[in-house]
Amino acid sequence: MGPLLLVAALSCGRLHSSPTATVLAGVYTPAQARRGRQIFKDQCASCHGVDLAGFSGPPLKGTIFLDRWREFPLEVLFDLIKTTMPANNAGGLSHAAYLDVLAYLLESNEIPAGSKELTDQVAAGTRLVGKDGPQPLPTSAQVSAVGCLTLDTGNGWFLTHASEPERTFDTFEATPEELKEAAATPFGDELFRLANIDDLPHFDRDGLVDNKVEAKGILVRQPNNARINVNSLVKVGSGCDQ
């Protein structure tokens, strides 16, 4: 993500766990996508390509594109487009035109249409997913996950019984609401190696080990090795009893 995009994403501030309703429920109409297609041709195609495959701007369809935005509420992508695009005329379109063009992006990414037009409320309450539905987060994603902080002597630190990692904007600080949510998140059956723990400022080893924690950082997926490069580690429950 370029600096421009990161600022836009951060400016949305709040991000609670992503909604469970997904764009696969049919969140735009064919007519809306048709309008969006025309707007795209006039306002976006010069940089992103008529086929959305990218030109001077990045591609707006396919795996690389979706991996940056999926599993976020759809409004995260919407806010970015609305506030930073077209790059040469940011914020220059009407609100309705931005919604239409987003509908066209969904259609171009093989998300099926439905019977109601896309609105702000729907964008806020719906998770963007690819056509195959919710998927584990890709490598390099900024994540938070809840689990048991476990030291395997000689082998290093692990987050055991971990929940499925969620998207987060800030991997260095956890807000009180996030910690409340983390405390209420049940243990799961994921396992992550935790890297960089000993570099954390004020790492309270004895206070944290064998307790329920929220870990935030960068997810790194390699064959047979899923790891979180930890930037923040906070205790959210006593002990690791399931």
Binding residues vs ligand HEC (CB under 6 A): 2, 4-5, 43-44, 46-48, 56-58, 60, 65, 68, 80-81, 85-88, 101
Nearer to ligand HEC, 80 or 143 (CB): 80
Q: Return the H-helix or E-strand segment holding 83.
A: helix 74-84
Evaluate whether 219 touches 136 at the Cβ level (below 8 Å): no
Indicate the residue type of 231: N
For residue 17, the minimal CB distance to ligand HEC (Å) is: 22
For residue 2, the minimal CB distance to ligand HEC (Å) is: 3
Nearer to ligand HEC, 42 or 204 (CB): 42
Nearer to ligand HEC, 86 or 217 (CB): 86
For residue 127, the minimal CB distance to ligand HEC (Å) is: 17
Evaluate whether 231 touches 172 at the Cβ level (below 8 Å): yes
For residue 144, the minimal CB distance to ligand HEC (Å) is: 22
Query: How far apart are the C-alpha atoms of 154 and 163, rounded to whole Å?
Result: 25
For residue 43, the minimal CB distance to ligand HEC (Å) is: 4
Q: Which of 77, 74, 70, 76 is nearest to 130 (CA)?
A: 70
Evaluate whether 174 touches 234 at the Cβ level (below 8 Å): yes
Nearer to ligand HEC, 81 or 194 (CB): 81
Q: Which residue is nearest to ligand HEC (CB)?
A: 2
User: Phi and psi (nearest 5°) for 170?
Assistant: -120, 115
Q: Return the H-helix or E-strand segment holding 118.
A: none
Nearer to ligand HEC, 85 or 236 (CB): 85
